[in-house]
Amino acid sequence: MALSRVWWARATFWGSAVTPGPFVTRRLQLGCSGLVWGAPRSSKLHLIPKADVKSLVSYVVDKTKVIHEKYHRFLGRNFPRFYVMYTIFMKGFRMLWADAKKARRIKANMWKQNIKFHQLSYRDMEHLRQVWAKGTDSQSSCEFSRDVTKCIFIGIISIPPFANYLVFLLMYFFPRQLLVRHFWTPKQQTEFLDIYHTLQRQSHPEILTCLEMTIPAISDAGLRWHLTEVCNKIHHGTQPAVNDILALRECFSNRPLDMNHLQTLQLKALSRAMLLTPHLPPFLLRSRLKNHTTVIHQLDKALAKLGIGELTAQEVKSACYLRGLNSTHIAEERCRTWLGEWLQISCSLKEAELSLLLHNVVLFSTNYLGTRR
């Protein structure tokens, strides 16, 4: 009570000069409805109108476009070679981003609809194949494709500060080794595909030699004769017919040419023909070749269902190149003819005969018209 009298005395003495703090004011406002010492603060927030926000965003976007156009004109006028490279890089990044989004959407649909890789449409299967090197139908194991591996490598070495300048120089001097196909110029695409096909063809003689060495181990005399004839035709520059290849089905479904009994030298040579690394243990080489051949077989079935006539010229050439034919220097109609004959062979094979499809990359493409350079 004594303290209360002292406090009221001080308040009376000082008058209005003494004002309670915000805590006291709030307590008095809540406790005594008739006694209010401070005006309550306004709870309204002053927000920017939506029209002003839209105008600001539009202004920033317009200014960015103007600056971007001026930068393009500056590069094109002062650094024309760099401007060409810059333009290709920008288009490549947009294409790469679009491909990644599409692959993610396909994978999401597969998960939602509970469908397998071989149940997709041809174009979806081919798109996923370019992003992922798919394994078996269960999709329990999969590995990065060459393009994704390059992107991961570039991303890792770009992490240190200022390392992006070094990466840019490496890309300029080593585009085939470091750049993915999205960043290749049309001239580079033709040049690099020729280089890759040359690397593939270097393994063809070794594969044919391995086939000839296994002929005596084949028990059936008729199969030995057919395989000898096919090898002789290829050595003399003749293209085997579809029936010549299909006559070897039983030969490649049993020892010694079925997938499970191929020798290490054959596995390494076939890996090089498929542009896969041969520097792995034999069981890994065998597994990768099985997966790669299974994917091609599934693609062939989906393509036969779709029809070759539905493919664009670029899709036809890409399909031929995947199957061992250097289609960059062959007319579109000849590519369609060759691809149709390939499908006749592939769609006639069973899973146990896929070793023949793997060897067909060599048997059916080595002497095709226009491929020998």
| Residue 243 tokens, joined | 């029936």
The model's confidence at residue 11, banded by pLDDT at 50, 70 and 90, is very low
Q: What is the pLDDT of residue 30?
A: 42
**Own/partner pairs for 206-212, CB < 8 Å, 24+ apart?**
206/265, 206/269, 207/266, 207/269, 207/270, 207/273, 207/359, 207/362, 208/234, 208/235, 208/362, 210/263, 210/265, 210/266, 210/269, 211/257, 211/359
What mean pLDDT value characterizes the chain? 79
| Segment 250-265, tens digit of pLDDT | 999 988 999 999 999 9
Instruction: Note the pTM of the prediction, 2 decimals.
Output: 0.73
Asked if the model's pLDDT at residue 161 lies above 60, the reply is: yes
Tell me the two tokens of residue 67.
């600056």
Percent of the chain at pLDDT > 70 equals 73
Is 50 exceeded by the pLDDT of residue 337?
yes
Domain boundaries, the chain: 52-184, 200-363
Q: What is the CA radius of gyration of the chain?
A: 35
8 Å CB contact between 286 and 259: yes
Q: What is the pLDDT of residue 57?
A: 74
User: Rounded to 5 degrees, what are φ and ψ at 244?
Assistant: -65, -40
* pLDDT tops 60 at residue 138: no
pLDDT at 43 over 50: no
CB atoms within 10 A of CB 216: 8
Whether the predicted pLDDT of 82 surpasses 50: yes
Identify the bridge partners of residue 142 per DSSP, sorted by sequence position: 134
- With bands split at pLDDT 50, 70 and 90, how would you rate the model's confidence at 148? low
Phi-psi region of 219 (alpha: psi -120 to 50; beta: other; left: phi over 0): alpha
Among 82-86, 191-195, 207-211, 277-281, the range scoring the smallest mean pLDDT is 82-86
Q: What pLDDT, on a 0 to 100 scale, did the predictor assign at position 145?
A: 59
| Count of C-beta atoms within a 10 Å radius of residue 101 | 10
Average pLDDT over residues 214-234: 93
Helix ranges restricted to H, the chain:
2-14, 22-31, 50-78, 80-113, 122-131, 146-157, 163-173, 175-178, 186-201, 204-214, 221-235, 242-246, 264-273, 282-306, 313-322, 332-346, 354-363
Instruction: Tell me the pLDDT band of 158, cut-offs 50, 70 and 90.
Output: low
Residue 240 has pLDDT above 50, yes or no: yes
> pLDDT value at position 46?
52
Instruction: Indicate the DSSP class of residue 310.
Output: G
CA distance 306 to 300: 10
- Can you give the pLDDT at residue 287? 93
pLDDT score of 47? 54
pLDDT band at 45 (very low <50, low <70, confident <90, very high): very low
How confident is residue 290, by pLDDT bands cut at 50, 70 and 90?
A: very high
DSSP 133: E
Tens of pLDDT, residues 339-365: 999 999 999 999 999 999 999 999 999
Note whether 227 and 215 are within 8 A (CB).
Answer: yes
Q: How confident is the model at residue 165 (pLDDT cuts 50, 70, 90)?
A: low
State the angle between helix axes of 204-214 and 264-273 in degrees (0 to 180), rounded to the nearest 10: 150
How far, in Å, CA of 208 to CA of 200, rounded?
13
For residues 146-166, give the mean pLDDT. 68
- Residue whose C-alpha is closest to residue 370's, from 313, 339, 328: 328
